[in-house]
Structure 1
């Protein structure tokens, strides 16, 4: 299952003068939503998609309309009407009665991943993160080991140059929920929120095989801030 949580408030965009959520904005005739979801175009006919939305700004109807236009064969939309304690909790709430054995592939609604394909090792690991070599300390990071193994992850703490692009895989929902439950029990939050990348540390400590896949910056674009949005407007119009 491919899961797109999208319950953020787009606060930076509204503060910058925009009047609707960032995923509803258009870039050269195509919405941010559509560009993000088309990251997984190769799997439109084979994977089940889950979109977790807020009820405001007519978002459920907007998403349903976009999904029909994109032609995704198997998609569902669930709505959360209250704030959550971060992306990990959002995903957990949105999964509802999803089977514990269901594989989870989680991605952001404000990132464009071009021509995504699952890595060859996906069937031999318990989870993986997609990363790129980047600057700054505002990312999730991995400490790399041998053969693309992850030794540990951090949130907003730079332990290597390998930054998460927001794509996270868990072999089963049960693994994800187990890690989240432990994070809740220990109140392991960053700025009061449960992020997804740190959940892998619990699994690593239990002996799970967590890997990373490094991609080039040319394979991805970020649209999470007004400045990034404006830069992409120029890029796509040139």
Structure 2
């Protein structure tokens, strides 16, 4: 009887020790995940700062310099040339204002998310449509009232959308963009496709700069429990598909 009691006590103590170890390991994994999410959040913010600095220096700075040079060269004695140069300067100012509005959208991305992820994505689509540069197709089965309250997931997913669109604008030379935003089987699915020049995916992933950007996008999707798949080929456009587990609030 004593042996049986000791045996049962030993089994119980062994179970408690293993259970405690699992608890500690689980807490450590949670802390690590939170730290990785925070790091991803900081990386996104750093990318935004670098993007703002580049846009201000390279684009808006250049446009304003050209505006200044154009106005400085106006000779009122030559009215026809002066009128053309003033018109050119006005166009440069308009382009500068457009660039500033785009930067403002980047800066206010988190504020837009306060309205909900679906509303933020729809607003991003609206801005893209206003440019009149692309034929935009937007499909979604998500109603306006559906809310997703996990802030880290919302922010990372929204930034992935913005980065995908930014890559299209900068590199794809596309004329059409299709965006699909759906909720099925407890997963949010976001797809961004274009009909641009595409690229050779293995080479891009192994390249020092391109690979780093694409792999960082995959890493950020993985940090929020999701996946990011890329399909691309030279002359055949690019398609990005993101899936993230979500429970609506």
TM-score under structure 2 length normalisation: 0.28
Larger radius of gyration: 2
The structure where strand makes up a greater share of residues is 1
TM-score under structure 1 length normalisation: 0.29
The structure where helix makes up a greater share of residues is 2
Name the structure, 1 or 2, with higher relative contact order (CA <8 Å, separation 6+).
1
